[in-house]
Amino acid sequence: MRRAVPRKDLPEQLRKIAALSRAECVERWTETFGQAPPIYASVRFLQRVLARALQIRLMGDYPVQLRRELKSLARTAERGEKSAPSTGPGSCLLREWNGRVYRVEVTPAGYILDGQTYRSLTTIARRITGAHRSGPRFFGLRTRKAG
């Protein structure tokens, strides 16, 4: 049976989980997940998973989009591939084309090139080259798939 824990008591509950013995962790794990924990799991691992389960129950899990991105990064790491560079707000993308260096600033509203805001990198790549190109690939954020 799950214990009712007010959100304000979360820090105290996390401290209690961190102080659990192996036997107490196994008991709490079985109570929380309905089955025994992995046999060779360390006490620290059990404590961390129990703490995370408590946090999810009280505060909710990560948003779906973030979970997808994390899974994608994990798959990329498993294959030994490099992950795409981060392009969050504040990033700056540089690309040389026909002797000119283009500087694109990433903002929450889109991408800024030469003082003008664009909604997509593909639009910027088209403006620079005069032809349709993948904007992320043009700026080196993605590579062409082998095939």
DSSP 74-115: HHHHHTTPPPPPP--TT-EEEEEETTEEEEEEEETTEEEETT
The mean predicted confidence, pLDDT, of the chain is: 86
Rounded Cα–Cα distance for residues 84 and 69 (Å): 11
CB atoms within 10 A of CB 74: 10
The length of the chain, given as a count of residues: 147
> Partners of 106 in the beta sheet?
111
The verdict on residue 133 lying in a domain is yes
The verdict on residue 48 lying in a domain is yes
The verdict on residue 145 lying in a domain is no
Q: Are residues 11 and 54 in the same domain?
A: yes
The verdict on residue 46 lying in a domain is yes
pLDDT tens digits along 62-111: 888 888 888 888 887 787 766 556 678 888 898 899 989 899 999 998 99
Query: Of 5-9, 30-34, 54-58, 140-144, where does mean pLDDT reach its minimum?
Result: 5-9
The verdict on pTM exceeding 0.75 is no
The verdict on residue 101 lying in a domain is yes
Pairing of strands 100-107, 92-97: antiparallel
Non-local (6+) Cβ contacts of 128 within 8 A are 95, 97, 102, 138
56 phi, psi to nearest 5 deg: -60, -45
**Number of domains composing the chain:** 2
Rounded Cα–Cα distance for residues 88 and 110 (Å): 10
**pLDDT attached to residue 112:** 93
Domain that holds residue 21: 7-59
Rounded Cα–Cα distance for residues 8 and 6 (Å): 5
The verdict on residue 71 lying in a domain is no
Average pLDDT over residues 23-32: 95
